[in-house]
Structure 1
Amino acid sequence: MTVNFNHSISRLGTQAEKYESRQAVFGRDDVLPMWVADMDLPTPPFIIEALKQRLNHPILGYTQMPDSMFQAIVDWQSQHGYSIQAEQILLTHNVANGLFLAVQAFTRPGDAVLIQPPIYPPFYQAAQLNDRQLALAPLVLVQNQYQIDFVEFERQIKSQSVRLFLLCNPHNPAGRVWSGSELRQMAEICLKHDVIMVSDEIHSDLVYDGYHHTPLASISEEVAQRTVTLSSPGKTFNLAGLQIGYAIIANPTLREAFAQTLARAKIDDLNLFGMIALEAAYSSEGRVWRRDLMTHFQTNIECLQLFLAEHFPQVKLIRPQASYLVWLDFRGLFSDHQVLKNWLINEAKLGLNDGESYGEMGSGFMRMNIAAPKSTLEQAFRQLVQAKSGLKTL
């Protein structure tokens, strides 16, 4: 299987959020969009072929989920040393949806939910939109990588009587891969205080060489019994539009509570094409695809790092250990976040994710999506260099 990841594909006219929402999000529709976390790269051809084969049949009716699809999830997770059973899997419509369901299933209005900013906005929303309190245990930036303040982590749990911890593993937006020892220490604190853990592991298949993803629930059987793992092939295989997600829950009591929440929302199964795409993605062909994809991402990150070193040495790249999302620290170049936003949008004409949407700690930061052909990065570089001439601080 040979895929040209540097072939540019127009997404205009496909209702792609990344492109069609530019005016609403950035106030202009001519920014180069490098924000929404899907890829400007082709969905794998073997998945497209599986969908086409199903379309040879003229009826798209109600469909039951086959045992083979659940077994594909079991087999795929085993790559991470995570041994699960098919009956432990419940289906959601995406991972963010799973966060909301977990908050509804395991907490009550007024309960406290712990998160670690800077963090993906739905972590905030899952608590706030369900009338839960937020407990914040901010990550600490040390030598250009985020670390956990375990003292503050436990202090927040104790002081706010936290019931639920939402973990991003690997981390979004910074791409941090948590080590087994870090996960174990967080889990031990949660177990000590009877806190249920929910681990968003959607970026777990996008880990770079030299790092290893450890599923939180694989730490021990005791941890597994207090953990809900959320995942999806959506990020790895560019399937976000099919709304695929699943939860893995070993504890029967927690699984039943989650299942009841699903039932109250009448969420039963995946859609027909989500089912087909998941099983095709989690195949031997999917493993080869992922390897080649990671090589492309690695090249793009290195190009970005070299570009910044030459043209914008004041901007620090928080080099991701996983994911195609890059967290950029502009604080050495801009002291005012609004000025930074205006410059990127109106001078560089780049559409990036606003760092402040990840919490107060995101002020001065932006998230860039590098899951694109090399030509897209080169266009972004040209626009940044052109906008640089207007910056008096350089």
Structure 2
Amino acid sequence: MKWRSVSTMRYDFETVIRRENAGSGKWDEIKRTLGCFPKDVIPFSVADMEFDMVPEVREGLKAFLDRSVMGYAAMTEEYRQTVVSWEARRHGWQIQPEWIRDTPGVINAFFTAVKAFTKPGEGVMLMTPVYYPMYAAATRHDRVLVDNPLVQEGDTYRIDFEDFAQKAAEPNTKLLILCSPHNPSGRVWTREELERIGRICIDNHVLVVSDEIHCDLLMPGYKHIPFGSISEEFAMNSIICTAPSKTFNLAGLQTSNTIIANEELRQRFYVEQQKDDGNPKCNILGLEGCRLAYAYGDAWLDECLQVIDTNRKVITDYLAREFPQVRVTRLEGTYLLWIDFRGLGIECHELARILKEEAHIFLDEGFIFGEAGEGFERWNLAAPTSYIQAALSRLECLKKHLSGMKREML
């Protein structure tokens, strides 16, 4: 099996910085399950990358430490302009610097939005299966979860707009958390889809909180459209959550940018932040890391996307050849491949056990994304291709189980 050699690239996408006993829950699961850290095994679960750090960010942070004091920090004008430039350069959206509220993570942002703009007992709509903290954003705060299930069609998903419109029209539905691009399905919503979502929400007084953390991670031929860029009316009825964390593997720096064009919404959001956090600030290294990534990270990201697309092809081709019963969802955005194993006939918890204990492949089980995810696995593609191939070779153990199941049926 061939793929584009990373040796022709400027950056290193082959080295893995191993995180055994380093406080990484993602890595520690390997030892909890296997009792050791096998040399050729890395996790493909939690959505951070198994690539070396972006050199420009690493060197920039070193220089920053040499000249800075680690005191309290706030966004500088240079920081704001760098975020503005990134949105314009990568997505064609011209935002204003004052629209930006810094938050210590996108999860913090949509949790804050739910508390700021809904009351206990009111409805928060999700398109499911979806990123699991979004369920918690509703249920932990005594809001009502309004489920708009996505419809699986072939190798992709579509929105059930009839159901969406009906549920948005219910007086109790006050807020939509839109996952764009969608995790775990990998959909990049089209302009037409976003316009229909936005129109229905405006007509029914439903606020849109759009989690766009994966917006920079696009497969060839797909374009992310920021929800707030579609029209001024949409911008005034939305809160857009962005971050460098997925794009540049900076989640540990706890920094994100919540873009709120509507001044009244922006003020209400900030008031809620103060209620919840008391002193809602990002850390000084997070702000500088974001600035460095957005200022100097374009070339690294472009190469990273090539590796992710290669890994997508490697897995898809292997499964089509060796396990035709397994359906791979078409990946449009994110680095997370959503794979339907239901055709194997193996119960979802038993499948998870086989993958971890026998194949030594650590993925995110689909059932954590809701009932509609049962029988699926989510494979994080942000890893060296050599490790992807090594993991695929270990899937051979599944054939033994399938043979045993066939014998039992005879």
TM-score, normalised to structure 2, is: 0.92
Query: Structure 1 residue aligned with 2:388, among 371, 377, 386?
Result: 377
2:58 counterpart of 1:48: yes
Q: Which residue of 2 aligns with 1:34?
A: 44
8 A contact 1:135–1:160 mirrored in 2: no
Letter in 2 for 1:272: I
Deviation sequence 1:194-236 (CA, Å, 0-9, x none): 0000000011101111111001111111111000000100001
Q: Which residue of 1 aligns with 2:84?
A: 74
CA distance in 1, matches of 2:177, 2:245: 20
Q: Which residue of 2 aligns with 1:286?
A: 297
Query: Structure 2 residue aligned with 1:190, among 183, 201, 204?
Result: 201
2:19 counterpart of 1:7: no
CA distance in 1, matches of 2:73, 2:260: 24
Shift of residue 9, structure 1, vs aligned partner: 2.7
Letter in 2 for 1:91: D
Cα–Cα, structure 1 residues 165 and 65, in superposed 2: closer, same or farther, change >3 Å? Answer: same
1:267-282 map, 5 Å: 267-282=279-294
- Secondary structure of 1:276's partner? helix
8 A contact 1:169–1:199 mirrored in 2: yes
8 A contact 1:92–1:267 mirrored in 2: no
2:74 counterpart of 1:64: yes
Segments of structure 2 that go 5 or more residues without pairing to the other structure are 1-8
Moved more, 40-49 or 381-390: 381-390
Q: Which residue of 2 aligns with 1:16?
A: 24
- Secondary structure of 2:388's partner? helix
1:67-216 map, 5 Å: 67-78=77-88, 79-159=90-170, 161-216=172-227
CA distance in 2, matches of 1:58, 1:67: 17
2:270 counterpart of 1:259: yes
2:367 counterpart of 1:359: no
8 A contact 1:169–1:177 mirrored in 2: yes
Computed over aligned residues only, the root mean square deviation of the Cα atoms, in angstroms, reads: 1.7
Letter in 2 for 1:56: D
8 A contact 2:307–2:385 mirrored in 1: no
Moved more, 323-332 or 52-61: 52-61
Shift of residue 160, structure 1, vs aligned partner: 5.9
8 A contact 1:243–1:274 mirrored in 2: yes
Kindly, what percent of the aligned residue pairs are identical? 39
8 A contact 2:16–2:52 mirrored in 1: no
8 A contact 1:42–1:238 mirrored in 2: no
CA distance in 2, matches of 1:159, 1:275: 40
CA distance in 2, matches of 1:122, 1:106: 18
Letter in 2 for 1:226: N
Segments of structure 1 that go 5 or more residues without pairing to the other structure are none
Shift of residue 311, structure 1, vs aligned partner: 1.3
